Chain A
């Protein structure tokens, strides 16, 4: 009865998922080819300050006369690096941790889960703040700081999925065929826990975009003069009276990015489970 409904088909059948995927693709193109697409150099102070939208500067200029549109296009890089980097760090540490904890159980599980509990106890933004203090500023450290905050959710999720799969007959069958423990974990268990992990990658990415912007807003994000949406919002905050539109556009970029990722996540849930999935435990990191 389920003939012809492969996960890919189910994903593409969801209209909003396709919208989200298209939006993200567009954003990636913008970020990668920013120098070619942006009308101005994002750091060139060649306009009058705080202009409203006009023909020359489509979205106006900032307090130093830089073109806001160009800065937004270049700023996408910071967000996407944070998103992909944090997801990679979170999954790279969290998934093996959860797999080991779930499959081996006993003391491995006990230790891993207490570590996870501890990491979970510090709200994402505060954890990132402290991490940046310890590691020092810089793009790589930023990614690491946000990614570490995503580890517990990946670990928890992978562990739960592993526990659900561990005692299933096909894992028992693999052991019964003489497969070693690492072989069973990697070839039999891992592929069967990836569904929720893939969804969590998208959730983490959107969380990272917001946290990066929040850190930049606090002055601890991507170091200037490289533009970032959060940093632009921080600057715009001082000019709310003079140029209210300045504060509007970077925020809209954030909203659209998170929206697209959310749509992709919903589409993946449908694709993986064939129906709406118990929402992965929402990250409190969003509440910055």
Chain B
């Protein structure tokens, strides 16, 4: 394995060139880390020569798609993988002068939490449900300082809780994790991580499960934590926007190793690896919608059979089957402020420039939707309330106002984007359309038929004309039916014979870009993107006039997400279907939608054309949301002053009086509490704010 040895030296050189903002030696170095698992399918090499350095006081963004080894590498480095099928961990993990991989467990533990601390993705499940939050933080202190008294620990924990922005820290100290929101749990995790002022803070997808407004708070907090402790931060994420906003340097992972590293500006403006360039091309942008995304063809590499050459070669736009790409694994070549593991970095560099030459085409102006006489979907004042049962007899003692008086219409061939944070009622609204949730009030018309009043057989007919695609393609397909049978289900319910079904399934498969030969396989044999294609094929089976897309790409990686978004755009062009596209992702909505509606706590607070809502937002909530989204463009980030929304979304059980947003609104007045603002025409769109005319002057940097 002389190649691997060469790799080490080559990459050492590469990283030593990297600028070290904190100066001095790196606080943590991964050197040629390899992690393998034994599985029934063979040996899986999840990490394949990961090498990077982190310096004190800097933030290193490690960005990559699912399965690229970015998380596994740090977990293995810190000895936190306990699955019995872990086969080997080799390489070096240098914390100062010590190689963590050579330490016995007890020695390693003495350094964990003291010198290196971690913040995990799903903070709620990362906290022990049966122990008090404060005790869990105190444990981090006392395990490294046995002399610390419990009163001193308590005082320090309360101080830490205050530092990370947990309100009422004294009370909160004695509560349990289930009494905290997701964002608050993540604050607790951060308090725990910085308790001992570690040299390195590793944050593994710290904001992935959180809403954008909360995400912005947590990213700010990480910045504060870095200032407080002077730690080097490794920020592991799949989100290019998060990296662009927060990182000083970036490492891009693919196939278990870093394929490109360098200064954040350089990575985003002059990438020298084709994967980095392709990733940027596949990303929907918040600032401008391109005519069409540039997806990366194919699927990420299978870690159980990594190619001998460049792992990206099969999907690479510049490899063009050149022998060197498929035969020799490219080692990172230092180059100015970074390194690219590509045989042809110069060609890669020209990729993004070529794309940039494509002028970003804004969507056609949707024109006047009112001209359309009969929209496919027409929702009038829809209401859905769920009882909150409690007490001995489980009587409804309160109501969740999930959807509370929403009206919208979607004409044929158009896409309405419905956007909002979790708990705003957007998914309930999507389900109301098919009456998968019983409406409490209002009227929903699909092709003029009232869904709420439909009898059993009429409802079945309506459900054929309106089909739904769900968020999680792993959950939306029946795992016990083959993908072919899954697609054929709606046809079976229509009473088609087996033979008729087979013919149609073949046709549907080819329309969504799946191979008919695979129809007999079970869903578990497919990747997320392919499953979503199956789900789309199933939705198309009845030739519906309306597709309800509930977060259809949220579970997918950027490169695959672009494939699915393009597929949906093509299908709409062919069939003039109407789309109701529900998403929390503002950039995706901008990419796909003609019209946008922003939901907050069960109500639409702003709606209008994409241009109107994104370029001239009038509701303070829309403005705050747009300001919270991390933009994958590090260039102007110093000038972008973001003031994230404070707090969490209030409970929809007892929504605030008057304007529901007033509790978090920077410009709320007494009037907002007393009087609910109607959704009224403002500047070519609709805004539900008393002060919609005055928000224009307020730049994103509204005082908090």
Contacts and interface: CB of A to CB of B under 8 A. Distances in A.
A–B contact (CB under 8 angstroms): yes
A169 B467 contact: no
Q: Taking each of B303, B459, B463, B480, which has the highest tally of chain A beta carbons within 10 Å of its own beta carbon?
A: B480
A5 B471 contact: no
Interface in A1-21: 1-5, 9-10, 13
A179 interface: yes
B431 interface: yes
B490 A177 contact: yes
Interface string B459-498: 1110110011011100111111100000001100100000
A2 B480 contact: no
Contacts of A9: 40
Interface in B515-530: 524-525
A170 B489 CA distance: 11
Contacts of B40: 2, 4-5, 9-10, 13
Contact of B463 (A3, A177, A188, A191): A177
Nearest to A2: B524
Contact of B470 (A13, A172, A178): A172
Given A175-B436, A176-B436, A1 B490 contact: no
Interface size classification for chain A:
20 to 34
Contact of A177 (B467, B470, B524): B467
Given A2-B524, A173-B538, A188 B493 contact: no
A277 interface: no
A283 interface: no
Contact of A1 (B304, B431, B460, B489): B304
Contact of A169 (B41, B463, B472, B480): B472
B316 to A, nearest CB: 23
A170 B479 contact: yes
A173 B538 CA distance: 10
A173 B463 contact: no
Contacts of B41: 1-5
The size class of the interface chain B forms with chain A is: 35 or more
Contacts of A2: 40-41, 524-525
Considering residues A3, A10, A174, which has the most beta carbons from chain B within 10 angstroms of its beta carbon?
A3
A172 B431 contact: yes
B584 to A, nearest CB: 17
A73 to B, nearest CB: 39
Contact of A188 (B44, B471, B478): B478
Interface in B427-451: 431, 434, 436
Interface string A155-197: 0000000000000111011111111100100001001100000
A172 B463 contact: no
Contacts of B6: none
Q: Of A10, A13, A176, A183, which is in contact with the most chain B CB atoms at under 10 Å from its CB?
A: A176
Contacts of A178: 459-461, 463-464, 490, 493
A10 B39 CA distance: 12
A10 B304 CA distance: 19
Given A177-B489, A178-B459, A179-B493, A170 B475 contact: yes
Contacts of B479: 170, 192
Interface string A12-38: 010000000000000000000000000
B428 to A, nearest CB: 12
7 contacts: A13-B40, A169-B470, A169-B471, A170-B477, A173-B468, A173-B535, A175-B434
- Rank and list the top 8 A-B pairs by shortest CB-CB distance, nearest first: A169-B476, A178-B460, A191-B480, A169-B470, A178-B463, A169-B475, A177-B490, A170-B478
Given A178-B463, A178-B490, A192-B480, 14 more contacts: A2-B41, A9-B40, A10-B40, A13-B40, A172-B468, A172-B470, A174-B489, A176-B434, A177-B463, A177-B489, A177-B538, A180-B456, A183-B493, A191-B480
